[in-house]
Amino acid sequence: MDPRMLATNLEIISNVGPSYPPATKSRQKCGAEDIELTSTSTFPTTAPIPATEDDSSILPAGPQTPPEALTQPATGVQTPHTPNELEANTPAEIRNVVGVVPSFSYPAKNRWRVFAACLTYFGNGMNDAAPGALIPYMETDYNIGYAIVSLIFVTNAVGFITTAFGTDVVHSKLGRAKTLMLSELIFILGYVIIVCTPPFAAVVVAFFLIGLGEALNLALNNVFVSNLANSTVLLGAAHGSYGVGGLVAPLIATAMVSNGILWSRFFLITLGIRVLVFFFTGWANKGYSKEPTSEFNSNLERLASRQNVDGEPSKMQLLKRTLRNRTTLLGAFFIFAYQGAEVSISGWVISYLIAARGGDPAEVGYVTSGFWGGITLGRFILTHITTRVGERLSVYVLIAGTIGLQLIVWLVPNIVGDAVAVALLGLLLGPVYPCATTIFSRLLPSRIQMSSLGFISSAGSSGGAVAPFMTGLLAQGVGTFVLHPICIACYVIMALCWRLLPVGNRKAA
């Protein structure tokens, strides 16, 4: 070929296609020209250009920079890689997923999963609220006092704490559906023991099993719902279902025992609910790990946890990261105090009204239902307001209101006034849990989110045993009025933990 024609062809090619300057080219000679060249090349912004089987077929026919030259240290401004090269160098976890945020309606089966979570929480609420109405009858049946009957709260907490360190391990081995079904089987076993009205020691063991089962389903469902779009409202609905269970359980339990039915027969109702949840949650969560949104989250977790040497972190490493995380520890203390106040009020306010206000057990047994009714309304209604105002500010306002109402119950010697104040206290206390869970999920790194929220809900929920147990222990010696200073102390701890939480959004790793 004529040398002049070859030079002309090379000049034309260099003007219409990208070419890489030699690595030794100076900034003055290549910088402006390269910038002008790349700025005139436009690529679609909505999706990356897919790589072809043979990228060489679309490259210019002119001379290219040798591959080994591209790996040498640059001495000037380098031309950016082509889209195909960027695509080839992108980690597979990013190339193979689409960043779609899951919601109540996407994937379509999420609707049933949220309904299953609501039914699960409904059963949890019945389980946690019933002892408050049944304790006076358990004391009579077994001829025991406040301190001994409080052991059911202690073993329930031990079950929660035991689960705190194993939730992520069980979930990674069994998957979401089987883990939730396992939690329901543990529940069923505990209820079968109770309905047989065994010696009190066996009842204590049964509440340990119930704590295991509840901690498992609570951790998994909190993680699932908190990662959906509009999570604060959905968490409010889910935990509002817990409040509905807490509302109806004392009504049913009080009606049953007031008509001479043995207290343990109430748990036949909760047993039937757990059997229904076992099948429903297993069906709703079948195939969850194969859906696009689940794979997206899993790939992000693997990408965030990449290690240069060790590869995928071990479960022990994840546990250490979890326990060193500031949000995890503060969240656990926060929920510890929250559950301590909630369960103490639910479990002991009836005994307080009987002992300090001279109330009739058949009548004041319904006060607990007012408390849980307030929690239910708060979680269904006030969560919409807290989302607009902001979860952080809302929690401060709600805590201040609960302290004022707790003082009214303590200092106003009127059963009707106390009952109204207890219901309003539940109204303000209700939205606190979903608001807190939303903030925790935003702050926690995605790789440890499951184990962290599991630890928060499990270890934190042990407060639902420590505070009621302390209340029963002190009530045995000085009186049931100790319920109020213990609850106020819990509110103060909640405010301090909330103040110490970091500000910002979730970290990548």
Structure tokens at 465: 């045993």
Which sign, positive or negative, has the C-alpha torsion 35, 39, 41, 44? Answer: positive
CA atoms of 288 and 405, how far apart (whole Å): 43
Give me the mean pLDDT over the 449-459 stretch. 78
CA atoms of 353 and 368, how far apart (whole Å): 11
Give me the mean pLDDT over the 335-341 stretch. 93
CA 220 to chain centre: 7
Q: Is the pLDDT of residue 74 over 60?
A: no
Mean pLDDT of the chain: 78
Structural domains in the chain (count): 1
Q: Who has greater pLDDT, 41 or 407?
A: 407
Q: What CATH code is carried by the domain that includes residue 431?
A: 1.20.1250.20
Burial of 67 (C-beta count, 10 Å sphere; 0-12/13-18/19+): exposed
pTM of the model: 0.67
Q: Is the pLDDT of residue 424 over 90?
A: yes
Asked whether residue 48 is domain-assigned, the answer is: no
pLDDT of 1 reads 52
Give me the mean pLDDT over the 66-72 stretch. 47
Write out the E strands in 231-294: none
Asked whether residue 251 is domain-assigned, the answer is: yes
Closest CA to 443 of 295, 305, 329: 329
Closest CA to 161 of 460, 441, 452: 460
192-246: per-residue pLDDT in tens? 999 999 999 999 999 999 999 998 888 888 888 888 887 778 888 888 898 889 8
CA atoms of 368 and 408, how far apart (whole Å): 16
- The residue with tokens 């020209």 is 33
Asked whether residue 163 is domain-assigned, the answer is: yes
Give me the mean pLDDT over the 103-117 stretch. 85
DSSP state of 365: T
The answer to whether 338 and 494 have CB atoms below 8 angstroms apart is: yes
In DSSP notation, 2-58 reads: -HHHHHHHHHHHHHHS--PPPTT--HHHHHHHHHHHHHT----SSSPPPPPS-GGGG
Write out the E strands in 452-497: none
* Mean pLDDT comparison of 202-206, 318-322, 361-365, highest-scoring range: 202-206
The answer to whether 245 and 124 have CB atoms below 8 angstroms apart is: yes
Structure tokens at 213: 């089962």
pLDDT of 162 reads 84
Domain range holding 334?
113-500
Asked whether residue 138 is domain-assigned, the answer is: yes
The answer to whether 338 and 490 have CB atoms below 8 angstroms apart is: yes
Asked whether residue 30 is domain-assigned, the answer is: no
In DSSP notation, 196-237 reads: T---HHHHHHHHHHHHHHHHHHHHHHHHHHHTSTTHHHHHHH
Containing 184, the helix (H) or strand (E) segment is helix 167-195
Closest CA to 264 of 183, 206, 349, 343: 206
CA atoms of 381 and 496, how far apart (whole Å): 26
Asked whether residue 342 is domain-assigned, the answer is: yes
Q: Give the chain's largest Cα–Cα span.
A: 114
Q: Who has greater pLDDT, 508 or 448?
A: 448
Asked whether residue 37 is domain-assigned, the answer is: no
CA atoms of 188 and 206, how far apart (whole Å): 10
Asked whether residue 39 is domain-assigned, the answer is: no
Give me the mean pLDDT over the 79-108 stretch. 56
Structure tokens at 323: 């326990």
With cut-offs at 50, 70 and 90, classify the pLDDT of residue 156. Answer: confident
Give me the mean pLDDT over the 34-56 stretch. 42
Give me the mean pLDDT over the 7-11 stretch. 51
CA atoms of 155 and 143, how far apart (whole Å): 20
Q: Is the pLDDT of residue 36 over 70?
A: no
With cut-offs at 50, 70 and 90, classify the pLDDT of residue 45. Answer: very low
